[in-house]
Amino acid sequence: MALPVSIKTGLVAAALAVAGLAAAPSMAQPNLAQAVGPTVAEPSSPASAAYRFEQWELDAADGARRYRVQLAVPRRAAPAGGFPVLYMLDGNAAFAALTADQLLALEREGTPPVVVAIGYATNLRFDTTARAYDYTPPVPGPGPTMDSGAHDRPAGGADIFLAFIEQQIKPAVRERVAIDPTRQSLWGHSYGGLFVLHALLRQPASFQRYIAADPSFWWQNGFILQEERQAAAIAPGSCLLVMSGASAGNASNSNNANNANNAKPANAANAANAASAAADQAPPPARAGIDSAAVQRMREARRSVPPETARLFVARQAQRDGLRATWREFEGASHGAMLGLSVGPALQVASSAPGASCTLP
């Protein structure tokens, strides 16, 4: 059985250096109203020397959501077995987080992956209503599943969305580029991370590498932990990487597979990071025009699981036959910042050799 590797980064700057990322602004939550802006797919981007880009749109089966798929394909000839591939949820935001330096480094250093960013047909980075439905699992009970983050949003469409990826998006990608079926990776952040874990637990043959950044364990009072108890058998050679910011509450509970240790601020800089993380963890106060009842529901939802949930989840998953699991903490990183911080590690895992684990330097 594989043991989890628990890696704790000291400062966000160190995490950026390890991941090969440019510094990104820290934020408690992603800016859900932010427009996409320029991306690596711009003709003027240096990334065009290593990758070619295309996109297309398609509708959900029920016509309620329209998807935008952005594809990045290495310009080099495909390996004999096909390229590794990284499927990214919240594709508009994920594609915007990619940098030319990252893609050029992949081209220089190894087998670059195909990147498939699955987003929505909007100029915004996020479609909050669509993602609340697509990325959340169905909860048994009377009536339809509703989003615990906002009770007026339909939820519970994760199985439908996973089938859509398998039946619509993956075939469209394979028509355009040769893919290695043994090196398919799935990345998601927040609700997207919740979807990654749901896919791992329910349909683990869909991908071989699962990468979740600050997944929303708290959703529906920790429903994903109920799904964990009925996890489907997993094929040998699969791996899981869960990355957490300190806003997930893991900093004070960090340990590795064999030796627990209390992660306390060692200096003034770390103390400042810890204070910032604590501020991130606290839900924002009610503001004018904001439903105070919804704010209270969010506070209660986030308190529904212990702060060390991510670390303990990975430790349990590491005991499963066929799965190698890693938990990585980015000390001082807020929930919103984890989207950008996790992209570099996701690319690294996706491009690693066949049979490699989801560990990082």
pLDDT at 142: 86
Q: How far apart are CA 196 and CA 240, in angstroms?
A: 10
Do residues 212 and 197 lie in contact, with contact meaning Cβ atoms separated by under 8 Å? yes
Do residues 333 and 248 lie in contact, with contact meaning Cβ atoms separated by under 8 Å? no
pLDDT at 8: 46
Structure tokens given for 350: 């996706």
Q: Where are the beta strands (DSSP E) in 18-98?
A: 51-59, 66-74, 83-88
- Give the domains, in start order, of the chain with CATH numbers: 5-351 (3.40.50.1820)
Other C-beta atoms within 10 Å of 69: how many?
20
Q: How far apart are CA 227 and CA 232, in angstroms?
A: 10
- Residue 125, judged by CB atoms within 10 A of its CB (0-12, 13-18, 19+), counts as buried
pLDDT at 292: 67
- Residue 121, judged by CB atoms within 10 A of its CB (0-12, 13-18, 19+), counts as middle
pLDDT at 291: 58
The residue type at 29: Q
pLDDT digits (tens, 9 = 90+) for 115-156: 999 999 999 999 999 999 999 999 998 888 988 877 789 999
Q: How far apart are CA 93 and CA 32, in angstroms?
A: 10
Q: How far apart are CA 173 and CA 13, in angstroms?
A: 35
Q: Which DSSP helix (H) or strand (E) runs through 16? A: helix 12-19
Name every residue whose Cβ is closer than 8 Å to that of residue 80 and which is 6 or more positions away in sequence. Answer: none
pLDDT at 4: 52
Local confidence pLDDT in tens for the 361 residues of the chain: 444 544 444 333 333 333 333 333 334 566 667 888 899 999 999 999 999 999 999 999 999 999 999 999 999 999 999 999 999 999 999 999 999 999 999 999 888 999 999 999 999 999 999 999 999 999 998 888 988 877 789 999 999 999 999 999 999 999 999 999 999 999 999 999 999 999 999 999 999 999 999 999 999 999 999 999 999 999 899 999 999 997 554 443 333 332 222 233 233 333 333 333 333 344 444 444 455 666 677 677 778 899 999 999 999 999 999 999 999 999 999 999 999 999 999 999 999 998 888 987 7
Q: What 3-state DSSP class applies to 7?
A: strand
Q: How far apart are CA 258 and CA 73, in angstroms?
A: 41
**What's phi and psi for 142, nearest 5 deg?**
-70, 135
